[in-house]
Amino acid sequence: MQPFATMLDFQEGTITPNDNVIIRRLSHMTPMFADQDAAARLLAEDDPVLYEVYEVHVPDNAGNLNHCCSIIYPGKVGDEYFMTKGHFHAVEGTAEIYLGLQGEGLLLMETRDGEVAHIPFRPGVMAYIPPFWAHRMINTGKDRFIFLGVYPGNAGHNYGAIEQTGFAKLVVESDGAPVLIDNPKR
Q: Which spans of this chain sit near ligand S6P (rule: CB under 6 A)?
A: 53, 68, 70, 84-87, 96, 135, 137, 149, 151, 155, 157
Binding window for Zn ion (CB under 5 A); candidates: 52-60, 62-70, 93-101, 113-121 = 93-101
CA–CA separation, 31 and 156 (whole Å): 23
Q: Are 176 and 158 in contact (CB under 8 A)?
A: no
Cβ-based nearer residue to ligand S6P, 100 or 149:
149
The answer to whether 96 contacts Zn ion (rule: CB under 5 A) is yes
Closest distance between ligand S6P and the C-beta of residue 1, in Å? 21
**Residue 59 or 130: which CB sits closer to Zn ion?**
130
Of ligand S6P, Zn ion, none, which one does residue 25 interact with (CB within 5 to 8 Å by kind)? none
CB of 107 to Zn ion, least distance (A): 11
Size, binding site for Zn ion by CB under 5 A = 1
Answer for the pair 26, 50: CB distance below 8 angstroms, yes or no: yes
Residue 72 binding: pick among Zn ion, ligand S6P, none (C-beta 5-8 Å cut-off by kind): none
Q: Which is nearer to Zn ion, 39 or 69 (CB)?
A: 69
Which of ligand S6P, Zn ion, none has residue 68 at its interface (CB below 5 to 8 Å by kind)? Answer: ligand S6P
With binding defined as CB under 5 A, does residue 110 bind Zn ion? Answer: no
- Residue 119: other Cβ atoms inside 10 A: 17
**Is beta strand 49-56 parallel, antiparallel or unpaired with respect to 65-72?**
antiparallel
